[in-house]
Structure formats: C-alpha cells, structure tokens
Amino acid sequence: MTGDGGSDGRGVWGCAPARLGELLDLVDEAVVICDRVDGPVRGFNRAAARLFPGLRPGSPVSMSSAAPLARAAARRAERFHAVHGGRRLRGRLHTAGGPAVWLVHQVSGAQEAEAALFEERDRSAFLEETTRRLGASLHHGRSARALVEMVIPRLADASVVVLPASGRRTRWHRAGPGDARSAGEVAVETLERVPKVSDALYGLQPRPAVIRPRELAALDDVMPGEFVRGEEALVVQLGAGGVPAGALIMLRGPERARLEAADIELAHRFAERAGLALATAALYSQQAHTMAVLQAGLAPEPLPAVDGLRLGAAYRPAAEALRISGDYYHVAPCPAGGVTFFFGDVSGKGAEAAVLAGHVRQSMRTLAMVRRGPDPLGDLQLLNDLVISAGHRFTTLVTGSARPRGDGSVKVEIASGGHLFPLTLRGDGRVEEIVCEGMLVGAVPDPSFGRTEFRLEPGELMLLYSDGLTEARGGVSGREIYGDERLVDALASCVGMQAPSVAERLELLTTEWLAGRPHDDISLLTLQAPPRRGSPPHRRSESPESPKSPEGPGGSASAGEPGSP
C-alpha cells in the first residue's frame, strides 16, 4: 500500500504500513484513505492506483486524478455512480470512528443492469406505499400531515408543505425531529418573498427546484430551525392535472449528502402522486362542507310553541341522497292565534329534489307573510305556477291552518295538492282518513285542488306523513313495505300520548321495520288539541270495527302516559 505512515511508522489505523498494505491489496475494491472527506490522501491500494493513476499521498482529493471522488466530496455525497477513464464506477464513503475511507469498484454491464433494477424496484415500492397511504384518507388535513411524514428519511430529514392560499393567508404542515409545532398559518406576502416557493404554489414551476436554505430566511417561522444550516433544499410543486395543490419543501441536515439527480427525479414522481391525493382530499372536504351547509339550510326549522296546540315532528332524509331531503314542512304561529302549516314531498330525491323543496318552502313562507289571512287554495294556485316554471319536477302538498276554539277543540282547514290524506287519531282510538282530493302541484297549468274542514276534540291528533314511511321496505324478507295498515295500527296504539311522543314512536317503529336497510325520505308532522285538564286517558276501543293488532314491528304497544295540558 502506498501512503504516509506517520512519524511513528504506524499506519493510519495504528497498523504497520507494510502490513496494512498487504491486507488492503487483498481487497478487490479500490480503497482510498483520507484524513477527512475532502482532506489529503493518506494511502490507497493497488486497485485504487489502477483506477486513479494520478493519486499521490499527501495531495488533496480535489487535486488528484480521482475526479469522481472529488465531485462526491464537494457534494458531501456518501455514494456516487460515475464514468471515469472509460470505466463505470460505483463508490461509497465510510467515515464512522476514523478517517474517511472511499471504497470504489468497477461495475460490469450485467451488474449495472442488476443494480438499476434493484433501485427501480425500491423506488416503485416507495411510490406504491405513497399511493396507498395517501389514498387511505379523504381528510385534507390528515393527508397533508401524512405527506410531509412520508418523505422522511427517504428523501429528506425535514419537510414542509404549504397549501394553496385562501385569501391573504394559507396553512402549512411540517414534519421533522424535534418539531413542537407541526402546523400553522403564513401570510401570502411572506411566501412571495421566496420566489421558488410561490412559483411552485401558483403552478408556475412544474419541475423540482434546488434552493439554498438561506434563501428561505423569510420563512423562519415555518422552516424547522435545526435544518437551516443544510447545504440545500428542494422545492417541489404538488400538482393535480395542472392545478396546484400545494408546494413541498424538503430539507436535509448539514451531515446529510446533497441531493442527486435520482433523488430529484424520485421527488418529482412522489409529488405527482401526492398532489393528486391532496387535491382529491381538498375536493372531498369542500363537497362535505357544501353538503353540511345544504343539510343545515334545508332542514326544517324547530316547531313553535303555541297556546292551545301541541306539535310534534320527525325528519329522516335518505342516506343514499346524501341526507338532503325532498320532504319539507313548516309551521308558523298566527297573530290571531293558532298556526298555519304546510307539508309536502317533491318527486324524486337528492340535490335536485332538495333545491325545489327549498324553493317551495321559501315561496310558501313568503305567501304567508304577505297575506292578511290564510288562503290555502290561493296559495296552491300561485305555487303551481312557480313549480311549473322551475322545471320538470312536481310536488305534493297539504297546506292549511289550525285554530284553537274556546271549548278546547281545534278547527283545522286544509287544501290538498295530491298529497297523502291526513290521518286523525280520535279520542276512542279510532283512526280516520281525512279525504281531500287534489291534483299534483306543478303537473298541469290549470289544476284542481281540494279543500275541507274538520275538528279535533280535546286530546285528538292529526298526522301528516310522506310516502317514505308507508313505502319503507323491511320485515323478515326485507322486501315487504310497511304499508297503510301497519301505520293505522301504530297510530291507534298512540292514543293518549302527546304529539311529540306520537311522532317519535312512529319513527321508531319504522326504523325497527327497516332494520338498517336503505329507505326514502321519511317525514312526520303531528298536530294535537290538548286534552282537558284532569281527564283520564282514552283507551282503544275493542269493537269489531277497530283495526286488528298486527304482529311484529308496528304492532300494538302501551299507549303511554297522558300528557298534561
């Protein structure tokens, strides 16, 4: 081995130079020993002398003919792959616990192909794991946090993702050792002071860009402080179909090798997958927020408290329609006493039905505000024109008023536009159908609507319901509809109960019948004349005309406790 044995005649590792040389010459790889990575050469074996004829003991690596070693040392790379003197070379650096030792070997064509295949499989496995992990969640924040964690330690020691701006500020997420704060906000004008980051965030920098950490000084509050001394960082645009989904900044510590071309290409391929996952999560989050706003805006308002009346309701939108219902109802108190109400069901379900239901509800409320008194038939005529102008859908509707009387009864007036007939629960447990014929609202330009009046005696109740209740499919087979008979018997079993409890019980019986199966929109509205103070609860009549008690869900049950007025 050729080298400087030191003043005591010992080798670099304390061995005699001759003995160390004999040992290293047995190694097939070229061995070059330096004081430090870019320091003077202290020794090398015969294999190294054949690959790098210009090597001289005591001369710096950068001054020798070992150009691949010099370039790797300048980049602080722990590995290199280069062509030198017509040979394909691969090298690696060992520095732990002593001098810097370069191990270099010549690669044959077959070895080169095998190594390239291994590296490509490794990169493919990393990218496949990226797709799997980022595709496992549609939560935007969790996707962003998973993204910054995945690049560590494969590509970086720390990473930051900056999300697209919302107004004049935007959010960021960070990962890396020792991070006390992993997310926060930053002003857009601060980002714009770092052009490579802002260009990536605005979609103006499709390829990764190397940036010096000192250029990120404007983002001191965002960057992890322990990595600002690194040699370089990488800024990658996260895009999805040309639309930027964020900018990823990857940093390496001062002891980490600089980024190589293979690292940059892998970062670009990672960003393509990560950007698509992040954009998908952002779109889902926006849609979920929109649906939540629609659900809140289209849900019925709370029922009012009105003297001389009791009110109850149940509302269960279909899950398959994203819980946006085409059923609607509204009850409003009248200045002169009592209430006005309407209850309807738009054809179809989902967003289109819900939009028309919202239009109908708002129009009916507006009519109630501008009219001096209830006019159910006039309201239906005006509403018919509105629904026709809105498109090809139609709606069923019952609208009317309920006014308490001095004797404790309630006078009810209704007009019907093709809706299911209301049911009344009489004091002796009989269930009667209030027949009120009428055409569908929005079906023809000049429809005919029905109108009728009836009276609820103290304790008696009126039920309005949508066809989602009677058409609910369940039972033992899962295909049998709940039907009118079960509804009548279930309502008859509620004699003596208060209006809210009746609505709750009917919904519960229907839910048991469905047993978790899909269903259409289900809505119920109950209106009751309070029983006289101190009157005993009515019991269901056992006469032959009384409906028979069905078996299974929806059958007879305890009538419950009578309510106080």
List, in order, residues 6 or more apart from 464 with CB less than 8 Å away. Answer: 329, 343, 398, 419, 420, 422, 524, 525, 526, 527
Amino acid 86 reads G
User: Which pLDDT belongs to residue 142?
Assistant: 85
The domains spanning 18-107 and 114-291 adopt the same CATH topology: yes
Which SS3 state, helix, strand or coil, does residue 170 take?
Answer: strand
CA atoms of 409 and 455, how far apart (whole Å): 7
pTM of the shown model: 0.56
User: Which pLDDT belongs to residue 6?
Assistant: 44
- What superfamily in CATH does domain 299-541 come from? PPM-type phosphatase domain (3.60.40.10)
- Taking the domains of the chain in order of start, what are their residue ranges? 18-107, 114-291, 299-541
* Per-residue pLDDT tens over the stretch 256-270: 777 788 888 898 988
CATH class (in words) of the domain with range 114-291: alpha beta
Which SS3 state, helix, strand or coil, does residue 453 take?
Answer: strand
Measured from the Cβ of residue 348, the count of other Cβ atoms closer than 10 Å reads 16
User: Which pLDDT belongs to residue 5?
Assistant: 44
CA atoms of 491 and 423, how far apart (whole Å): 9
Topology (CATH level 3) of domain 18-107: Beta-Lactamase (3.30.450)
DSSP string, 79-114: EEEEEETTEEEEEEEE-TTSSEEEEEEE--HHHHHH
Tokens of 522: 């289900």
List, in order, residues 6 or more apart from 364 with CB less than 8 Å away. Answer: 330, 342, 379, 383, 399
pLDDT tens-place values along the chain, 565 residues long? 555 544 444 444 445 555 666 777 888 889 988 888 777 888 888 888 888 888 888 888 766 667 888 888 877 778 887 878 778 888 888 886 678 898 998 887 666 666 667 777 877 888 888 888 887 778 888 888 888 888 888 888 888 999 988 778 888 888 877 655 688 888 888 888 888 888 888 888 888 988 887 788 888 778 776 654 556 789 999 887 778 888 999 888 776 777 788 888 898 988 888 888 888 888 877 777 776 776 666 678 889 999 999 999 998 887 654 556 678 899 999 888 899 999 998 887 667 777 778 888 888 888 777 766 678 888 888 889 888 887 767 899 999 999 999 999 999 999 999 999 999 999 999 999 999 999 999 888 889 999 999 999 999 999 999 998 999 988 888 889 999 999 999 999 999 999 999 999 999 999 899 888 878 888 999 999 999 876 555 554 443 343 333 333 333 333 333 333 3
List, in order, residues 6 or more apart from 520 with CB less than 8 Å away. Answer: 318, 349, 466, 467, 468, 471, 472
